[in-house]
Structure 1
Amino acid sequence: MASDEGNGPVRVDSWIWSVRLTKTRSAAGTACRAGHVRVNGERAKPAQPVRAGDEVRVRLAGRERVVVVSRLITKRVGAPVAAECYVDNSPPEPPREQVAVVAVRDRGTGRPTKRDRRDLERLQGGRGGGR
C-alpha cells in the first residue's frame, strides 16, 4: 500500500488529494493557495507538511470539511481505504432547499402580457410591485 507512516510528513495538497477531499491534485494546491485549507487553525501552503493527529479544514463548494489525520498516504486510493485515513468531524451537510419553481413560457408565444409579467414577479418573490 502507498503509506508513508514511517517516513515522516506528507505535503498537505498531496494528502488532501490522496484521501479524495478534492478531485485533482492541482485543485488541492489551488485551494491551499486561495486560503481554503487550514492545518491546526493556520492557513496552509501546498507544500506544508501534515502529520498524524493534525486537524485539516478544507472549504470547497460552500461546505467546510473538518478532518483529523489518522494515517499518511501519498498515492490516491479507493474511497473505502481513503475513509480509513482520517476521522471526519465535519458539521452535518445543510438540508437541500427545495427546487424553486421556474416559470416556463412556450416558445414563440411572443412578449409576455402585463398579467404574465405580474405572475412572473409574484413567483420570483414580489419584485417590482408597483409605483
Structure 2
Amino acid sequence: MSSTNEKLRVDKYLWAIRVFKTRSQAADACDGGKVKMNGGTVKAAKPVSVGDKFEIKTEARKWVIEVVGLLANRQAYSEAIKYYVDNTPEEDKLAPKYEASVFQTGKRQSKIGRPTKKNRRTLDGFMDGDDE
C-alpha cells in the first residue's frame, strides 16, 4: 500500500478504485453532491487520507466505503478492492440496476405494430393462395 503522506485527490482515488469509469465522472459526482466524505459534501480536489469514509451515489448503486490504502493509478479490479473496505448495506448492493424503460435492440418486437416487408410478402402470398 502507498505511504500516507502523499496527496491524492478524491476524484482520482474514486476513479482508481473503479467506483467511476472516468475521472471526469468522479469529478462531476463530487461537484453534484453525490459524494460525501466523513458526512459532508466534498470537492474533487480535496486530499484523501487513510481512514476517510465515503458515501457515494452512482447510477448503478450506492456505496459506503472506508479508505484503507491510497491508490493513484487505475489497476485491475482484483487489485483495486484491496485499497478500500466496502461497508455498503446488503439492500443497497442488491438494488435493481438502472435499466432504460425501452430496451431498443434495433429489431422490431414480434407481433407488435406493422408487419415487416418480409412478413407482408408472406401474408400476401398466403392471401393470394386462398383464391384458387
Aligned to 1:26: 24
- Gapped regions of structure 2 (runs ≥ 5): 102-108, 117-132
Structure ranking higher in helix proportion? 2
Looking at structure 1, the residues matched to 49 and 95 of structure 2 have their Cα atoms a distance apart, in angstroms, of 33
Please state which structure has a larger fraction of its residues in strand.
Answer: 1
1:55 maps to which of 53, 57, 62: 53
Show structure 1 runs of 5+ residues with no match.
110-131
Distance 2:38 2:28 in 1: 19
Contact between 2:4 and 2:50, CA under 8 Å: does it hold in 1? no
Question: Residue 64 of structure 1 corresponds to which residue in structure 2?
Answer: 62
Q: Is the 8 A contact 1:22 1:28 kept in 2?
A: yes
Q: Who is 1:45 aligned against?
A: 43
Letter of the 1:107 counterpart: R
Alignment partners' CA distance in 2, 1:94 and 1:103: 32
Deviates more, 1:53-62 or 1:28-37: 53-62
State the superposition RMSD in angstroms. Answer: 2.7
Cα separation, 1, equivalents of 2:2 and 2:63 = 23
Deviations 1:37-76 (A, max 9, x none): 0110110100011110110111001521010000001111
Instruction: Give the C-alpha shift of residue 91 in structure 1.
Output: 1.8
Whether the 8 Å contact between 1:5 and 1:73 is mirrored in structure 2 is no
Native 8 Å contact 1:39 1:50 kept in 2: no
Q: Which digits, 9 at most, give the CA deviation of each residue in 1:71-119, with x for residues without a partner?
A: 001111111110000000012223549x99x99524249xxxxxxxxxx
The structural deviation recorded for 1:19 is: 0.4
Cα gap change, 1:6 to 1:52, in 2 (>3 Å): closer
Q: 1:62 to 1:6 in 2, by over 3 A?
A: closer
- State which structure, 1 or 2, has the greater radius of gyration over its C-alpha atoms: 2
Indicate the percent of aligned positions where both proteins have the same amino acid: 34
Alignment of 1:1-131 (within 5 A): 4-61=2-59, 63-92=61-90, 93-94=93-94, 96=96, 105-108=112-115
Change in Cα spacing, 1:57 to 1:106, as seen in structure 2 (3 Å) is: same
For 1:48 and 1:61, locate their aligned partners in 2 and report how far apart those are by CA, in whole Å: 23
